[in-house]
Amino acid sequence: MVVYWLWLTTRKGLGREGLLTVLDCFDTPERAYYGRREDYEDLPLSPEAREALLDKSLDGAKRILDDCDRLGIEVMTLQDARYPQRLRQIAQPPAVLYIKGRVFRFDEEAAIGIVGSRSPAQVSQVRAERFSMGLTSRGALVVTGIAQGIDSSAIRGALMAGGPVVSLLAGGADIPYPRQSQDLYHDVAAVGALVSEYPPGTPHRGEHFKPRNRIISGLTLGVLAVECERDSGTMLTVNHALEQGREVYAVPIGLEERCARGTNWLIKRKLAKLVEDERDILEELWEHCPDKLTWRPALSPEQRAARQTDKPQEHSQEKPPPRQPVISRQEQRERFTDDQTELLAALAKRELNADELVEKTQIPARRVLTALTMLQVDGAVEERPGRRFRALVELEGFNK
């Protein structure tokens, strides 16, 4: 039940890491709610968090639900089937999302984050607006913050293109912030979505902005940095995107300009792809979500010929896929953890996403994601389109 999620996420002293620790132990917030003092004692939590878990009052959680009903705010939890798979797979997914406006199926969207300085050069504001307008008009979904500067320019560009836009907030979805962006706040709520991991009434605090950035990148296929310094909130979002396996794009800026430091550094270090207009991004978004975009890549005669050659002929005999290496039982014990072995067994002869692996193995989601990451590093698993995973090895005894 949603009320138990709200109870758990409002425990003082628990924090995101503590919350995931509790979920790893109890699997669901409801089971955690019915835990006893001795059940919490062995968990690596602060004394304040343990005491908060002993407070079984649901009054605060019910007030939040009442506020959401009154304000027209949707509540989505990690247990919800609509919860974005993209977001579920990041290191610390928000346990609850509060959404004012449209509820998007983010996994099906050609979503692109646009981020940058709060005090950008005029040319960067124009570029952000132009990129956002071009992407939105061709079917992409822009995800950004709502601060002054690049965020606001990206929102305006999406609205001018007549499309929706998503803004991530660092406070309650019912509180316009900053005051200068009140008009944009209402416009976004009307045609797109305002998203937060904080319940209604939560003030926008400085310490909320850094964790918010992981959600911007987590909901998207990639992030465009329009302008930033080397040490900035934008760079934090870029770092999250890199850790989450998202694409990073950057707009090159003249070397004499101060605002060039961050984006040019990303390009120089090959951490970001240089983009000159929205088509550079659309080419890659099209590979993931061709049905969402009205734009189509222009193929050269050589590319068209290559694609025609690649098409299977009617009477050609398909070659069987190459046989995967078989890992002996002894090597399994030495090379893989128990979780990794279970996941490889579940992936034998089939591709599954993280949710399906959790359901099939009954391993907590956080451990599944950790094990999948290590298996990919080891070269035993690869990620396929649609965030599905395939084993690159067979386990002796599990190859039926």
pLDDT at residue 259 tops 90:
no
pLDDT at residue 247 tops 50:
yes
Most confident of 90-94, 134-138, 394-398: 134-138
pLDDT at 313: 47
- State the chain's mean pLDDT as an integer: 89
Q: What is the phi/psi pair of residue 383, to 5°?
A: -90, 135
pLDDT at residue 396 tops 60:
yes
pLDDT at 188: 96
pLDDT at residue 202 tops 90:
yes
Most confident of 23-27, 62-66, 118-122, 209-213: 62-66
pLDDT at 314: 45
Give tens-digit pLDDT for 303-347: 555 555 554 544 444 444 556 788 888 888 888 888 888 899 899
Mean of the pLDDT values across residues 88-103? 94
Q: How many Å apart are CA 206 and CA 171, to the nearest integer?
A: 10
pLDDT at residue 129 tops 80:
yes
pLDDT at residue 64 tops 60:
yes
pLDDT at 304: 52
pLDDT at 400: 44
Q: Which two tokens stand for residue 336?
A: 């893989």
Residues 6+ apart with CB under 8 A from 227: 116, 117, 120, 121, 124, 127, 128, 150, 234, 251, 253, 259, 262, 263
Q: What is the phi/psi pair of residue 164, to 5°?
A: -80, 170
pLDDT at residue 73 tops 60:
yes
Q: How many Å apart are CA 351 and CA 395, to the nearest integer?
A: 15
Cβ pair 151, 176 in contact under 8 A: no
Mean of the pLDDT values across residues 144-157? 95
| 207 Cα distance to chain centroid | 20
Mean of the pLDDT values across residues 339-358? 88
Mean of the pLDDT values across residues 186-193? 96
pLDDT at 309: 56
pLDDT at 318: 46
| pTM of the model as a whole | 0.75
pLDDT at 181: 85
pLDDT at residue 260 tops 70:
no
Proportion of the chain above pLDDT 90, given as a percent: 64
pLDDT at 335: 86
pLDDT at 72: 96
Residue ranges and CATH numbers for the domains of the chain are: 2-71 (no CATH), 101-288 (3.40.50.450), 326-395 (1.10.10.10)
Please tell me which residue, 376 or 34, carries the higher pLDDT value: 34
pLDDT at residue 296 tops 90:
no
Q: How many Å apart are CA 341 and CA 329, to the nearest integer?
A: 10
Q: How many Å apart are CA 264 and CA 260, to the nearest integer?
A: 6
Q: What is the phi/psi pair of residue 249, to 5°?
A: -120, 150
Mean of the pLDDT values across residues 292-306? 70
Q: Which two tokens stand for residue 120?
A: 């950008």
Residue 97 DSSP symbol: E
Q: Which two tokens stand for residue 344?
A: 């490889």
Proportion of the chain above pLDDT 70, given as a percent: 91
pLDDT at 310: 53
Range in 153-162, 245-254, 358-367 the model is least confident about: 358-367
pLDDT at 258: 63
Return the amino acid letter for 274.
L
Mean of the pLDDT values across residues 245-264? 81
Mean of the pLDDT values across residues 124-146? 96
pLDDT at 303: 53
> 3-state secondary structure string, 332-373?
HHHHCCHHHHHHHHHCCCCCEEHHHHHHHHCCCHHHHHHHHH
